[in-house]
Amino acid sequence: MPKKILITGAAGFIGSNLTDHFLSRGYEVVGLDNFSTGKRANLSEALQHQTFTLIEGDIRNPKDCHKAVKGCRYVLHQAALGSVPRSIKDPVTSNEVNVCGFLNMLVAARDAGVSRFVYATSSSTYGDSETLPKVEHIIGQPLSPYAVTKYVNELYAGVFSRLYKMECIGLRYFNVFGQRQDPNGAYAAVIPLWVKQMIRLERPVIYGDGEYSRDFTYVLNVVEANEKAMLAGNDTLKNGDGFVHQVFNIACGGNTTLNQLFETLRSNLSRFNPEIANLEPVYGPFRTGDIPHSMASIDKARRLLGYNPQYSTARGLEMACEWYWRVIGSECFPVLFAI
């Protein structure tokens, strides 16, 4: 029988990509989502599989967590309330979901005897640290409530590893992008938001001078990292205490300024509509809580997980633009897509 995996946040951007991947590998997958930010459409393929079970529930409810994890060998915990600006506006809800919900899932996984708990953390934990590239053991002061919640997740996972001998692995995602990332809403991430605006021939806003930089990471690299973390031998992952709790940077190991990002997106999208090549950005004030520069060292993930990102940032942006053009372009230019 295939091994059983629980993926929390299964209807979300990253969660749905993970769900499709593991179903294609023959695993039995349970998806838990409350659809506060996830989309049912993201699970359209998964729902065709007999080995997929969808549980509509909330990680803030311990009963939902225990129900979802029953019989599962692995947990890939992706459910969270993202966005630095959202956490600044509403820190209480961010804490309830990202900290209380995370703790509920840890307890449920412990009680169910799960073999390994792999969870999504964030590059925001590096805070005001100016060290580049970012290495896992050097962090600064958090700059947002969201960053605090993700750092608390790492602390809790470490404690559960030591107290209950759980195997916990945290993956610090660096600016993940790709197919199914939602371009709509007040807290849309920069890449899908700008792509949507450019397709509609609108001018994107760059906050600051455009020289802030990020280690943009294509979503299929994140899928690879989760699989590697889930299956890596525990002898390799034991820390100095002899317990399995490690945190890894998951990125491409490069950096792209916002100005460079704009130029790359404009170039990719103008292949579909030459008018996009004439767009110029609008510059606005710097945003509170934004980290100036983010570039990861992925040496630890390469060494201990065998992580080797298959998609460069440039190739990922090209693929993402093609996907968004099919989805959004069909709305904006229905005549073209009818041909």
Q: Is 173 a catalytic residue?
A: no
Residue type at 214 in one-letter notation: R
Helix (H/G/I), strand (E/B), else coil: 299: helix
Q: Cα torsion at 339, 183, 97, 214 (round to 10°)?
A: 130
Reduced DSSP (H G I as helix, E B as strand, rest coil) percent helix, strand, coil of the chain, to 5: 45, 15, 35
Residue with tokens 């998806």: 31
Cα first-last separation, the chain: 46
Report how far apart, in Å, the C-alpha atoms of 172 and of each of 26, 73, 125 are.
27, 22, 8
Cα–Cα dist 20/16, whole Å: 6
Q: Cα torsion at 130, 134, 136, 139 (round to 10°)?
A: 20
Q: Which of 73, 47, 79 is nearest to 150 (CA)?
A: 79
* Set 146, 156, 311, 324: catalytic member: 146
Burial class (CB in 10 A: 0-12, 13-18, 19+), 59: buried
Residue with tokens 């890596």: 232
Annotated catalytic residues are: 146
